[in-house]
């Protein structure tokens, strides 16, 4: 059950908050460590930096059981369809953090072998720069993602850009989910 089928009104507002809270408090990453960034990701999951305090220490191997894909490392041409396949297998709601400069933009490898940014393949929610980004940077990226989930900004941006599964969330109960109306100047409807 998600937020999608609800008739959003003042009664469901608190429910939406609870669902969002549950989502960002336990977004389980899928194991998608590719290269050096994966080592820093493992380090973030380990005791010194500890992702467990965010409820994320369980790296699920099966994409069906994961919410979050942290693309950690450079994506080669051969890996690109695999990346897309794993992303497609993940169930909604799902988020993507592009960890490291190679995943965000191709990094220092601007050549035939590396896809210049995973946003060419999957929609990315948060970019974490660094080569590799230290655990602090990755945690900052994760917390940014959590804030976005909490604010509902992610669903709003996906509606704008057409990314993600394009779920229509209807009106809002308490202004948490903002749907752009396409009015000039970028208005937002708050029914």
Partner 1 sequence: MSDVAAAEPESPPEPERHAGALVTRSRGQEVLHPDLDTFVATVAALKDEGYVMCVDVTATDYREAPERDLPAGVTPERFELVVNLVAHEPPRRIRLRVQVPDGPPVAPSLFTLYPGTEAMEREVFDLMGIRFAGHPDLTRILMPEDWEGHPLRKDYPVGRVPVQFKAAPSSR
Partner 2 sequence: MSRAADQGGDVTPTPDGDDGQAPLATAWRGSAAVGAAETSEGAQELSSRAETDPLVLDVEQGAVLRLPEGVALDPTDFDIEPSDDETMIINLGPQHPSTHGVLRLMLELDGETVLRTKPVIGYLHTGMEKTAEDLMYVQGGTNVTRMDYLSPFHNECVFALAVEQLLGIEIPERATWIRMLMLELNRMSSHVLFMATNGLDMGATSAMIYGWRERELLLAFFERVTGLRMNHNYIRPGGVAADLPDGWRADVEHLLHVFPRRLDEFDELFTNQPIWRARSEGVGVLSQAQAVALSATGPVLRATGVPWDLRASLPYLNYDQVSFDVITGTFGDVFDRYAVRINEVRESMRIIEQILELMPAGDYRIQDAKVTPPPRSRIDESMEALIHHFKLFTEGFKVPAGEVYVAIESPRGELGCYLVSDGSAKPYRMHIRAPSFANLQSLPVMMRGGLVADAVAVISSLDPVLGDVDR
Q: Can you tell me which of 11, 58, 113, 143 binds partner 1, judged by CB under 8 A?
A: 113
Q: What is the DSSP string of the chain?
A: --STTS--STTTHHHHHHHHHHHHHT-PEE--B-SHHHHHHHHHHSTTT-GGGGT----BSSGGG-SEEEEESPPBTTTHHHHHHHHHHSPSS-EEEEESHHHHH-TT--STTB-S-GGGTS--SEEE-SSSPPHHHHHHHHHHHHHHHHHTHHHHHHHHHT-TT-----S-SSS-S-EE---TTT-EE--
Q: Is 115 a binder of partner 2 (CB under 8 A)?
A: yes
Please identify, using beta-carbon distances, which residue of 114 and 138 lies nearer to partner 1: 114
Distance CA 34, CA 72 (A): 6
Q: Is 34 a binder of partner 2 (CB under 8 A)?
A: yes
Q: Could you tell me the smallest distance in angstroms from the CB atom of residue 102 to partner 2?
A: 8
Q: Which among partner 1, partner 2, none contacts residue 121 (Cβ within 5 to 8 A by kind)?
A: partner 2
Q: Is 85 a binder of partner 1 (CB under 8 A)?
A: no
User: Using CA atoms in the order 152, 155, 158, 163, what is the torsion angle rounded to 10 degrees?
Assistant: 130
Q: Is 111 a binder of partner 1 (CB under 8 A)?
A: yes
Q: Could you tell me the smallest distance in angstroms from the CB atom of residue 74 to partner 1?
A: 14
Q: Is 106 a binder of partner 1 (CB under 8 A)?
A: yes
Q: Which among partner 1, partner 2, none contacts residue 68 (Cβ within 5 to 8 A by kind)?
A: none
Size of site (CB under 8 A) for partner 1: 9
Q: Is 65 a binder of partner 2 (CB under 8 A)?
A: no
Q: Is 166 a binder of partner 1 (CB under 8 A)?
A: no
Footprint on this chain of partner 2 (rule: CB under 8 A):
30-36, 38-40, 42-43, 45-48, 59, 61, 63, 73-74, 76-82, 84-86, 88, 91-92, 108-109, 111-115, 119-123, 131-132, 134, 161-168
């Amino acid at each position: 059950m998600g937020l999608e089928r609800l008739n959003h009104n003042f009664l469901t507002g608190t429910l939406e908050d609870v669902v969002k809270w549950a989502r960002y408090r336990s977004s389980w990453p899928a194991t998608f460590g590719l290269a050096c960034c994966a080592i820093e990701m493992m380090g973030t999951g380990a005791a010194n930096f500890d992702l467990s305090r965010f409820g994320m220490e369980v790296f699920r191997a099966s994409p069906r059981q994961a919410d979050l894909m942290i693309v950690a490392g450079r994506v080669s041409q051969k890996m690109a369809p695999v990346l897309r396949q794993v992303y497609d297998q993940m169930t909604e709601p799902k988020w993507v953090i592009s960890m490291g400069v190679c995943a965000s933009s191709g990094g220092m490898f601007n050549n035939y072998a590396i896809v210049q940014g995973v946003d060419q393949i999957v929609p990315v929610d948060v970019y974490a720069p660094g080569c590799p980004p230290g655990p602090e940077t990755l945690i900052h990226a994760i917390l940014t993602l959590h804030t976005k989930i909490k604010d509902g900004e992610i669903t709003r941006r996906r509606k704008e850009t057409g990314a993600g599964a394009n779920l229509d969330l209807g009106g809002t109960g308490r202004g948490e989910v903002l749907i752009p109306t396409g009015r000039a100047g970028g208005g937002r409807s708050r029914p």
